[in-house]
């Protein structure tokens, strides 16, 4: 378990820096958080590996809805065209993929990093998570960890832009948007209130 958590925590950093060395001129990139690589052009073929978002892949051949690729120097396989592109996904989309599809340690690491931003795509993602929470429903246990972390991060980093976001969230109410327990909604409202009070004092 400890080994898995360590891997999850370093994955976002690994994805950003480990493929910058040498990319093929005709590279394509995975557009989902993770995509299976198969031994042949179809879902009936065995999975031989996995590629992650924005990882460069060298194209060998294209057959209808599948592309034969090489990952790194050794892994040869096929990937569905549905989840590859000639362009890397944007920073905003990358943040969303980490938040929506990563394991809890990955999500928490992302939230802790993004709450240090006063603006930009990371801050915009966190605002959407709060104001349109139904679109980012991850289950009550995950929400219990991540949403207070957003509030606390905003408070600790004195992000004044967070005030209207938090006030709006409180005015609209969490009922129906969170899908979580009454206890969790109470905790979030308390966190929001404390964050607003702290920000106003500063």
**91: three-class secondary structure by DSSP:** helix
pTM exceeds 0.75: no
Low-confidence ranges of the chain (pLDDT < 70): 1-22, 24, 170-185, 196, 198-202
Rg over CA atoms, the chain: 20
Query: Which residues make Cβ contacts (< 8 Å) with residue 65, sequence separation at least 6?
Result: 41, 80, 81, 82
The domain defined by 2-85 folds into SH3 type barrels. (2.30.30)
pLDDT of residue 81: 95
pLDDT of residue 73: 79
CA distances from 180 to 171, 183, 185 (A): 18, 8, 7
Beta bridge partners of 30: 53, 84
pLDDT of residue 64: 87
pLDDT of residue 137: 75
pLDDT of residue 42: 92
pLDDT of residue 78: 94
pLDDT of residue 68: 93
């Amino acid at each position: 378990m400890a080994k898995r958590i360590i891997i999850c925590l370093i994955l976002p950093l690994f994805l950003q820096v480990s493929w910058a060395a040498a990319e093929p001129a005709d590279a394509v990139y995975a557009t989902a958080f993770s995509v299976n690589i198969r031994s042949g052009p179809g879902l009936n073929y065995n999975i031989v590996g996995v590629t992650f978002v924005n990882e460069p892949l060298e194209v060998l051949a294209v057959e209808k809805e599948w592309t034969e690729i090489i990952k790194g120097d050794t892994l040869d396989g096929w990937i569905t065209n549905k989840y590859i592109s000639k362009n890397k996904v944007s920073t905003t989309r990358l943040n969303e993929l980490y938040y929506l599809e990563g394991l809890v340690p990955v999500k928490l690491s992302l939230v802790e990093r993004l709450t240090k931003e006063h603006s930009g795509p990371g801050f915009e993602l966190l605002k959407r998570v709060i104001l349109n929470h139904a679109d980012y429903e991850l289950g009550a246990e995950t929400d219990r960890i991540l949403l207070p972390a957003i509030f606390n991060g905003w408070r600790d980093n004195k992000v004044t832009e967070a005030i209207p976001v938090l006030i709006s969230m409180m005015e609209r109410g969490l009922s129906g948007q969170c899908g979580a327990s009454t206890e969790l909604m109470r905790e979030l409202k308390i966190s929001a209130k404390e964050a607003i009070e702290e920000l106003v004092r500063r």
